[in-house]
Structure 1
Amino acid sequence: MSVNTARSLGDFLRSRRSRLDPASFGYSGRRRTPGLRREEVAQRAHISPTWYTWLEQGRGGAPSAEVLDRISGALMLTDTEREHLFMLGLGRPPEVRYKSLEGVHPRLQRLLDSLEASPAIIKTAIWDVVAWNRAAAVVLTDYGTLPPGERNILQFLFRNPTVRAKQHDWESVARFVVGAFRADVARAGLASEVSELVDELCGASPEFEALWRDNDVLNHGDSNGIKRLLHPVLGQIELEYSAFSVDGRPDLGMIVYTPMDPEIAARVKVLAAAKA
């Protein structure tokens, strides 16, 4: 860690510590400066008060990820602040922390809804769909008709004959999805959390089991970015797709599908409007 980085880390720690209310943590007594004392933060983080003091003074050396996590919890940092702490302390963001949820912030839903001709979804690290727009409901799957626990993309692809029949090249799609799913799960540290889902799919689909055994690891940049579907109303359609991370929520990803044919885009918009 460079001298300037160590100094920036110390400045950041002091600023976060000064913003905490001692009374809310059960600490009393008069104080000359606002916020918690250094030894109180060290006690909450289960680290040496001397070493924490050195960190704030810019001379503590590079802390481990575990220590940064403890300090983050002790200082009640937000996800954004925690990421900044890791960037200062280790030069990299922290590992993704998965959060179970059934919906997204209203501003994200408004963003999806503004894409009237482009199907768009937001999925978790384990490929559960948690938000979508009307275009996605009429082109991909009408997720709103399914219980929250049954909106997993892998379940659709390997266990739903209707979804399978819509794929132009099901084998290629399946290989890509399994490889990208494996990468997302590993990145989020969720191998144990998805073991039940993987076991269920292996038992239900020999094709999934074979692909899972192949141990391929892929991301959206490894594909050609084109999805071809046989739609019951629109016929054979081609969609360009792009994947985006969600700011402040590294466990979520947004995928937007854009019709390559303007005429198809116009028809998707009409179908989505009728859905509304």
Structure 2
Amino acid sequence: MRINLDSPYDDGEVFEREDGGWYFSYHQENPNPSLRDMQFTNKALMACIADRVPVGVLREREVRKGNSPEYDVLGLAVPVSWQAGFFFFEGVRTDGAWHRGDTMSEVLLSTAQAQDDSTERDESPPSDDYDARLRIARQIVARRGQRAFRAALMQAYGGRCAISGTNAEAALEAAHLLPYRGKESNVLQNGLLLRADIHTLFDLRLLAIEPASRCVRVSQQLAKTSYRELEGVRLAEPAAQNQRPAIAVLETIWRPFLEAERQT
């Protein structure tokens, strides 16, 4: 497969690991995710995911108008998952191994970090202490979630974290179970009131809620941390049935959590 610089698709940057591994995202052929299996390349990559078959990866050096493109050979990479129109790859190291974990989350984090670093370099420094504090306040407000959605969750959950029981309002955030896609995402069945650190771990798929038992499951990656104490904790939910997380939403999150755990 080839990573072209002038591709009509939004192929991601290739990120390197300290152990010699590498990873990246690659947009499927056809911009509509629901039409994935209409293209032979997509069907072949899905088969490679199922069978863990690596593919050769070439990356274009530079866009050369009117000239034949030149490529660097990156090596072999294993397509490990597909979601929302993107394939996620783990590069094979020189020892023949590749990283096993939640590659999609790592791609998203690395991409966001790269963009954040770029914005930070381009952004002018605060003009004074007030401006610096204002920027921090904006970040806190953005992280807490939209005011009305957070207020509704605060009322539904009695001002307590649904997992830890923390009642410090300043530390509680409105967590979307499925990613925010506009105002229709701000419904109580798609939300949880969570302590800030637990919200972060939830977004990183290091915590999940088992749909059948409604209990917390903790990733193996947190097994040697204090967060292991959350394993098996039953989710504290509102009394009203229509305010609780929808079973279909929990199942949508649970499946990729299990897949990431199998790869760890």
Do these two structures clear the TM 0.5 threshold for a shared fold by scoring above it?
no
Higher-helix-fraction structure = 1
> Which structure is larger by alpha-carbon Rg, 1 or 2?
1
With the shorter chain as reference, the TM-score category is under 0.3
Question: TM-score scaled to structure 1, two decimals?
Answer: 0.27
Higher-strand-fraction structure = 2
